[in-house]
Amino acid sequence: MGLYAGMMDEGQKREYSDRELLVRYIKGVAPFRKSIVLISLFIFITTIAETVNPLLIGIAIDELSNINSNPLIVLAAGGLYFILSILLWIMFFLRRKEIGKFVPFFLEKLRMKIFDKLQEQDMSFFDKHLSGKLNTRVSNDALDFGNTTLLLAETLGNLLISVMTFAVLLWLNLTLALVTLIAIPFIFLLVLSLRRVVKIVSRAYRKAIGSINAAMVESIEGIHVSKSYGQESTVSKQFEETNKQYFKAGFRITSVTHMWRPLLEIIASITLFVVIFLGGQFVFQGLTNPGTIFMFILYLQKFFRPIMVLSVFFPQLSSGMAAYERILDVIDSEPNVKQNPNAIDIDTLEGEIIFKDIDFCYREGEWVFNRLNLYIKKGEKLAIVGHTGAGKTSLVSLLARYYEFQGGSIEIDGINIRDMTLNSYRRNLGNVQQDVFLFSGTIEENIRYGRQDASEEDLQNVIKSVHLEELIEYLPEGLQTQIGERGKGLSAGQQQLVSFARAILTDPRILILDEATSSVDAYTEAIIQEALEELLSNRTSIIIAHRLSTIVNADRIIVMDSGQIVEEGTHNSLLTQGGKYATLYKQYFEHQSLDWEHHRESLKVE
């Protein structure tokens, strides 16, 4: 199926029974008791009025069929019918108004609950879920479930009308009412089978919507890549395949929705024909009068109307509940990274770091680290080198608590990082990555992101320390210049300088540079290198780098291979050893040296 094939394969982590969904829903709407009581009251009044109106018509017909009819009775019945019709309109308006307040407020709370839950998750959660599908759960799924809330309120009123109507049918004519009951088992079987089928196709439909959104987000975010390789038409064809899956899922749910209603109408029509035939016989035999039969037919139609609605109700309900299942799948997800219940707030760390016997894997059984040990002194500048996949980024990701390790401990200043509150711990960390993410807004807002209450003096000092003032001078609005999504409007080097300023403004005691200069131009790198000595002073620094300039001045370099530390020392001592580092140096770093000469001997690897 192409690039987006995997998007259709997303599995639901857990499934919920109808009873569990209902209980969770009731708990969810409990805070809105006032609105629910008012809506229920309006539905009850509507039901009474809907039940009385046909009686008034029957009374009028019976009175008119008498030779000595009383016009006052007819007028009274007509006047009361008119008043009840106005009451029905008022109740409809009030019910809709209350629902109009309740549903959006309920949706607001539900969306915030989903969004807050997403903020709690660690990076392993986002590794498993596509951003487009998560967006679907916050927007589309929440909206569909909100519509289900409206549907439930309307259906409750219809079912109440149906129950009261049948009570009137029993009172009007027991025989005809019992005849009507014969149709109920057939209707029940049809509705039950409809419910089961719709539940299956609704889940597939919700997944298809998520896949469409995920494909759209990915195609937009990767538009520069597809254009660079001239693959716009290929991407369109691949999206067309995903879109076809969405069409098929939509077609199935539409077909299921409408295939049962004609069968229900046939059953209702046959029942109505039998009632009219038997009712006519009763009138001819003098067992009842025409007004009663007319009332019975009116009530019979009111009795079947809610049942007809069920053919639409169950597909929409199943779609809404399938959306609710996906919402609960997020809400019930627990992050792997958790702080201990008695975690303490810490103020300022010194920066002594100890990794003790760390075991870690992203997927069960595929170990990245096995009993890894590492000691980093307070204020030390540590550089980490190694081939791709050696475990460099995994190491700093564990330190930043993006992922949870399965065994061992990480201690800072003698305190287990699991015993520190996440917020207070991360306030002591600064992280500058290769793939810079800047938010839409001004440059100043992005720099202040981690410390919005920073003074103007602190802000200006940070700007000078990373040599960002030159960039700001050339921008039309300086710090107030608006930048677009992901820093659009700035070059890669300019984005990196802003990210440096953002990290340093928080004055972190531990600074992580994850290949932070690998994507910048030579001029920007020179600016960054000039600032690094000042930035790294009095801080514990961990540097993952592909540039020679960022590691030669490190206090210590560790070489990683397959999740293990295989060498450590200074740049010169490691070169002298002629081991793994020397090999890496000749492969990746030697050509970056200013005195490097391009000749074959320098490229030889021992």
CB 346 within 8 A of CB 428: yes
Span 130-179, pLDDT tens digits: 666 677 666 667 777 776 766 666 666 667 777 777 787 777 777 777 77
pLDDT of residue 185: 76
Percentage of the residues of the chain whose pLDDT score is greater than 90: 6
Sheet holding 564-569, edge to edge: 429-433, 510-514, 540-544, 381-385, 556-561, 564-569
Please tell me the distance from the alpha carbon of residue 543 to that of residue 562, in angstroms, as a whole number. 18
Q: Does 374 have pLDDT greater than 60?
A: yes
* pTM (2 d.p.): 0.68
- At which residue do the structure tokens 């509150």 appear? 421
Please tell me the distance from the alpha carbon of residue 572 to that of residue 555, in angstroms, as a whole number. 11
> Which has the minimum average pLDDT: 114-118, 324-328, 380-384, 518-522?
518-522
> Which has the minimum average pLDDT: 55-69, 77-91, 490-504?
55-69
Please tell me the distance from the alpha carbon of residue 116 to that of residue 479, in angstroms, as a whole number. 30
Overall average pLDDT of the 452-470 stretch: 82
CATH topology of domain 383-390+429-603: Rossmann fold (3.40.50)
3-state secondary structure 329-388: HHHCCCCCCCCCCCCECCCCCCCCEEEEEEEEECCCCCEEEEEEEEEECCCCEEEEECCC
CATH H superfamily, domain 14-331: ABC transporter type 1, transmembrane domain (1.20.1560.10)
CB 292 within 8 A of CB 62: yes
- Angle value at C-alpha 280, between 276 and 284, nearest 5 degrees: 175
Question: In 135-243, where do the E strands start and end?
Answer: none
Burial of 37 (0-12, 13-18, 19+ CB in 10 A): exposed
Q: Does 573 have pLDDT greater than 80?
A: yes
The residue extents of the domains of the chain are 14-331, 383-390+429-603
Cα R_g (the chain), whole angstroms: 35
> Which residues make beta-bridge pairs with 361?
367
Structure tokens that stand for 109 in this block: 């709370």
User: In degrees to the nearest 10, what's the CA dihedral of 100, 103, 104, 105?
Assistant: 110
Span 394-449, pLDDT tens digits: 898 899 888 889 999 999 999 999 999 888 888 888 888 777 777 777 888 888 88
Q: DSSP code of 109?
A: H
Inter-helix orientation angle 261-284/174-181, to 10°: 160
Best CA proximity match to 552, nearest among 373, 385, 311:
385
pLDDT of residue 375: 93
Structure tokens that stand for 498 in this block: 């802003």
pLDDT grade, residue 5 (50/70/90)?
very low
Span 534-550, pLDDT tens digits: 677 788 989 887 566 67
Contacts 24+ apart (CB under 8 A), 94-97: 94/38, 94/42, 95/39, 95/42, 95/43, 95/46, 95/153, 95/157
With a CB cutoff of 8 Å and minimum separation 6, the contacts of 130 are 7, 10, 210, 214, 217, 218
